[in-house]
Amino acid sequence: MRTKDSKTEKPCTLHSVMPRLFIFLRAALIVLFTTSNIYLISNNLYIYAILLSAGISTMWTLNVKDLAISDWKDRIAYILGGVVGTSVSLYVLSGLVNGA
């Protein structure tokens, strides 16, 4: 029997998934941008690195605001976004380095 205090799981809807999807995508972009920035710096492409750092900082400010008031589901979405961002950047940059 449920009491007034018991929490019920809400069904997973597009409305409930979208905020976490945006957190995930921003985390993936931050890691992709950061990895790309390291590549740019190591290849002496400083102007591009400086411009890209503005994108990194912008994305970071958006994530800090959202994650400060988040729950563990949001944090897991952020962590998974970082993993995907790293994977994508490794794939893209390995193609650039190997000349493919």
Question: What count of other Cβ atoms lies within 10 Å of the Cβ of residue 49?
Answer: 18
Per 3-state DSSP, the chain is made up of helix, strand and coil in percentages (nearest 5) of: 80, 0, 20
| Ordered DSSP codes for 32-55 | HHHHHHHHHHHTT-HHHHHHHHHH
pLDDT at 2: 47
Length of the chain: 100
Q: What is the average pLDDT across 15-43? A: 85
> Both tokens of residue 57?
């900082």
Q: How many CA atoms lie within 13 A of 94 on its CB side?
A: 6
> What pLDDT does residue 9 have?
60
Task: Please tell me whether the overall predicted TM-score, pTM, comes out greater than 0.85 for this model.
Answer: no
Q: Is the pLDDT of residue 29 over 60?
A: yes
Mean pLDDT calculated for residue range 6-31: 75
Q: What would the pLDDT profile of 42-63 be if each residue is shown by its tens digit?
A: 888 888 888 888 888 888 777 7
Residue type, 89: S
Determine the Cα–Cα distance for residues 77 and 67; give it in Å rounded to an integer: 10
If you search the block for the tokens 């893209």, which residue do you land on? 92
- The amino acid occupying position 64 is V
Question: In this model, does residue 1 exceed pLDDT 50?
Answer: no
